């Protein structure tokens, strides 16, 4: 790669915009607001950011909370001393519209490999042992700009697309912290991307509306297909109407046609492939959460031994004990605790079990589950992300009958 050095210009106050989503943009904006607040900060959330935390936190909500100006992209075009950082920003950037040339992106791959889409799935599908995150200048191509810095990391043999995505989030913030001063000071080096081993994938590379597992492959390739499509907040791979949460390549050689079910029980399938048999583990979480919502204790008992992590959350970031508590099913809560449910579970907003029990009391007027959780050791002093305690919510909702249990 051809290297060039940017001209050094010791830091004066400039304009910095964080554009994007999820914890990488959140952590970056928090860092800037604490340690770089002498610069003028802007926040550009993705267009679909409604200001509400989901399975990932909202950049728009944080910008409002930190009193950082939230802008439309058109407002940035005329700012000459702008440092623009795309951290999972969803739209393509037209650099010709910007007066500033300090436009940067952190891409979730080890460029020049995997430009474009689906960088959490495709490296796994292709059996890669490594991936990385890349800080590069934005040009008018798709992830083709000159490279400033990279972090390479290993993809484990059982990492799913979700696991890989969270590694990207963690490593990209490390990359951001390492390079933010050089970006501000114009003291970074640039390296042209190599044409060798370069690859690009568009939206058409994977059709997530029609995911099919091809068993006419080796066990390694089949294993990688299941891993690549496992991202619980978006989709789970399906086999014979069962969601599959994990796979295991067996030492048994396949001696029948690929895709044949050799064995099925309540826990797994064993399927033949081109070379080795593979075990597919059935996912019971949708049943767990359904039974906790509806209070079906007898059905819960039948499947609870098939749940590898009782504290796993659904797409709303509610786990089993939160669901059961909110719906007032005390017998289910007791069973979940016996199986290791976390008494201090919270959602993304920090809402505690006792706060959910308060919500149940509001519509049921039954304090049984509230008192049981207190007696079981739930911490009543925890604050949520809005710095509110259980007592604050009890008083606000005029549920003073519950205060006697806190004394």
176 and 91 belong to one structural domain:
yes
360 and 398 belong to one structural domain:
yes
- According to the model, what pLDDT value does residue 315 have? 83
Does position 303 have pLDDT exceeding 70, yes or no? yes
187 and 269 belong to one structural domain:
no
Least confident of 8-12, 34-38, 321-325: 8-12
Q: Would you say the pTM of this structure is higher than 0.85? A: yes
Reported as a pLDDT band with limits 50, 70 and 90, residue 9 is: very low
314 and 351 belong to one structural domain:
yes
Chosen domain end from 203, 232, 252: 203
Does position 6 have pLDDT exceeding 80, yes or no? no
Q: How many domains does the chain have?
A: 3
Report residue 186 as tokens.
């114009």
- According to the model, what pLDDT value does residue 385 have? 84
- According to the model, what pLDDT value does residue 11 have? 53
Does position 7 have pLDDT exceeding 50, yes or no? no
CB atoms within 10 A of CB 69: 13
Q: pLDDT, tens digit, for every residue of 104-113?
A: 999 999 999 9
Q: Is the Cβ–Cβ distance between 336 and 369 less than 8 Å?
A: no
218 and 199 belong to one structural domain:
no
Q: Please provide the average confidence, as pLDDT, over all residues in the chain.
A: 95
Mean pLDDT, residues 356-365: 95
Q: How far apart are CA 199 and CA 138, in angstroms?
A: 17
296 and 245 belong to one structural domain:
no
- According to the model, what pLDDT value does residue 202 have? 97
Choice between 247 and 55, residue whose per-residue pLDDT is larger = 247
Q: Residue 151, CB half-sphere, CA atoms under 13 Å: how many?
A: 19
Q: How far apart are CA 85 and CA 13, in angstroms?
A: 16
Q: Whole domain around residue 309: which residue ranges?
A: 285-405
153 and 177 belong to one structural domain:
yes
Reported as a pLDDT band with limits 50, 70 and 90, residue 346 is: very high
Residues linked to residue 130 through DSSP beta bridges, in sequence order: 154
Chosen domain end from 242, 266, 282: 282
Q: pLDDT, tens digit, for every residue of 180-224?
A: 999 999 999 999 999 999 999 999 999 999 999 999 999 999 999
CATH no. for residue 109?
A: 3.40.50.12230
- According to the model, what pLDDT value does residue 2 have? 47
Region at 118 (left for phi over 0; alpha for psi -120 to 50; beta for the rest): left
Q: pLDDT, tens digit, for every residue of 54-95?
A: 889 999 999 999 999 999 999 999 999 999 999 999 999 999
377 and 263 belong to one structural domain:
no
Chosen domain end from 172, 203, 234: 203
Let me know the angle formed at the C-alpha of 176 by 175 and 177, rounded to the nearest 5 degrees: 95
CATH no. for residue 327?
A: 1.25.40.20
64 and 180 belong to one structural domain:
yes
Q: Is the Cβ–Cβ distance between 381 and 389 less than 8 Å?
A: yes
- According to the model, what pLDDT value does residue 113 have? 98
Instruction: Give residues with Cβ within 8 angstroms of 184, minimum separation 6.
Output: 11, 14, 16, 36, 39, 83
Q: Residue 101, CB half-sphere, CA atoms under 13 Å: how many?
A: 4
Q: pLDDT, tens digit, for every residue of 115-171?
A: 999 999 999 999 999 999 999 999 999 999 999 999 999 999 999 999 999 999 999
Report residue 362 as tokens.
């509001």
**Residue from 41, 201, 18, 47 nearest 124 by CA:** 201
Q: pLDDT, tens digit, for every residue of 248-267?
A: 999 999 999 999 999 999 99
344 and 315 belong to one structural domain:
yes
CATH no. for residue 235?
A: 3.10.25.10
63 and 84 belong to one structural domain:
yes
224 and 197 belong to one structural domain:
no
């Amino acid at each position: 790669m051809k290297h060039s050095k940017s001209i050094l210009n010791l830091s004066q106050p400039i304009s910095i915009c964080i554009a994007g989503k999820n914890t990488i943009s959140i952590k970056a904006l928090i860092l800037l607001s604490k340690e770089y607040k002498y610069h003028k900060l802007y926040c550009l959330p993705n267009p679909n950011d409604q200001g509400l935390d989901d399975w990932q936190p909202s950049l728009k909500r944080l910008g409002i909370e930190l009193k950082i100006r939230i802008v439309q992209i058109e407002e940035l075009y005329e700012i000459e001393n702008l440092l623009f950082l795309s951290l999972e920003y969803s739209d393509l950037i037209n650099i010709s519209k910007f007066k500033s040339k300090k436009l940067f992106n952190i891409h979730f791959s080890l460029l020049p490999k995997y430009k474009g889409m689906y960088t959490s799935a495709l490296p796994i599908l292709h059996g890669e042992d490594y991936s990385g995150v890349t800080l590069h200048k934005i040009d008018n191509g798709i992830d083709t700009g000159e490279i400033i810095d990279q972090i390479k990391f290993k993809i484990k043999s059982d990492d799913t697309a979700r696991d890989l995505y969270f590694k990207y989030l963690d490593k990209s913030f490390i990359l951001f912290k390492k390079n933010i001063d050089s970006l501000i000071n114009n003291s970074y080096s640039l390296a042209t991307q190599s044409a060798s081993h370069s690859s690009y994938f568009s939206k058409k590379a994977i059709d997530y509306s029609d995911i099919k597992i091809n068993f006419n492959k080796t066990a390694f390739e089949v294993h990688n297909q299941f891993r690549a499509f496992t991202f619980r907040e978006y989709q789970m791979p399906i086999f014979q109407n069962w969601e599959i949460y994990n796979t295991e390549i067996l030492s048994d050689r396949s001696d029948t046609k690929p895709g044949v079910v050799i064995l099925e029980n309540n826990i797994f399938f064993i399927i033949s492939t081109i070379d080795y048999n593979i075990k597919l583990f059935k996912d019971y979480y949708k049943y767990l959460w359904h039974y906790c919502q509806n209070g079906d204790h007898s059905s819960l008992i039948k499947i609870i031994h098939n749940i590898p992590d009782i504290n796993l959350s659904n797409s709303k970031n509610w786990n089993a004990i939160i669901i059961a508590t909110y719906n007032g099913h005390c017998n289910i809560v007791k069973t979940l605790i016996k199986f290791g449910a976390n008494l201090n579970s919270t959602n993304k907003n920090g809402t505690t079990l006792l706060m959910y029990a308060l919500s149940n009391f509001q519509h049921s007027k039954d304090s049984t589950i509230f008192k049981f959780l207190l007696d079981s050791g739930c911490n009543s002093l925890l604050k949520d992300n809005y710095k509110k305690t259980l007592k604050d919510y009890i008083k606000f909702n005029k549920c003073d009958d519950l205060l006697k249990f806190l004394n």
